[in-house]
Structure formats: structure tokens, C-alpha cells
């Protein structure tokens, strides 16, 4: 389990499209399902599971080291989503201003 300070730092890094481990950008979009998405850092070979992507990221899970093959597969599978960047909320049916 991750302590609250670490989780807060990871969230800040991810929301700024930076790898929480090495701080570099150019994260690779990986598989997604529901409101979660995996992203990978091609620099330090770390994976991250982002929870709440569709509604604003609420937590980040460190998946540990990933292989270059996993990263290459993600690039091939999701070519139009590279490099990964946090996008504004664009979920249909949810008002942005609370109305």
C-alpha cells in the first residue's frame, strides 16, 4: 500500500503527464478498460495504472518494471494516442460546470 504523500506526488506527476518514477515526459498509452488506463514510461520502463481517467484521475498504482516489448505493443495498439497526455474531461452527459 502506498502512503498518502507518495500517492499525492504520483497524482501530481501524472496530471502533469510526467512519469512519477523518473520525472520525464512522453508516457506511452497502454491498455484501458472502464475508467482505468495503463501508461508506460519508455525512459525508466515503469508501468502505471491510472484510476478514474474518464472522470479525473483519482489514484495511481505502480505496476513496476515493464518490458520494452510491452511498450512496443502499446505503441502499435494505440498509435493515435501517443504520447499519452492527460486530456480535459470530455465525457458525454457530465456537465463540466456542475449544471
Residue 55 located in a structural domain: yes
Q: How many domains does the chain fold into?
A: 1
Domain assignment present for residue 37? The answer is yes
Whether residue 93 is contained in a domain is answered as no
Domain interval for residue 62: 4-81
Flag whether pLDDT at 93 surpasses 70: no
d(CA 18, CA 97): 27
pLDDT at position 97, please?
42
Residue 99 in any domain: the answer is: no
- The pLDDT value recorded for residue 86 is 78
pLDDT tens-digit profile of 19-30?
999 999 999 999
Over range 8-22, report the average pLDDT.
94
Q: What are the residues whose beta carbons fall under 8 Å from the beta carbon of 54, sequence distance 6 or more?
A: 34, 35, 89, 91
- pLDDT at 4 > cutoff 70: yes
Maximum Cα–Cα distance across the chain: 45
The answer to whether residue 30 is domain-embedded is: yes
Task: Flag whether 16 is in a domain.
Answer: yes
Amino acid at each position: 500500500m502506498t502512503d498518502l504523500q507518495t500517492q499525492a506526488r504520483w497524482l501530481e506527476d501524472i496530471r502533469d503527464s510526467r512519469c512519477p518514477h523518473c520525472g520525464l515526459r512522453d508516457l506511452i498509452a497502454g491498455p484501458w478498460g472502464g475508467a482505468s488506463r495503463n501508461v508506460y514510461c519508455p525512459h525508466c520502463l515503469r508501468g502505471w495504472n491510472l484510476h478514474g481517467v474518464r472522470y479525473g484521475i483519482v489514484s495511481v498504482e505502480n505496476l513496476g518494471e515493464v518490458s520494452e516489448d510491452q511498450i512496443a505493443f502499446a505503441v502499435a495498439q494505440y498509435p493515435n494516442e501517443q504520447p499519452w497526455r492527460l486530456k480535459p474531461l470530455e465525457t458525454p452527459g457530465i456537465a463540466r460546470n456542475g449544471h
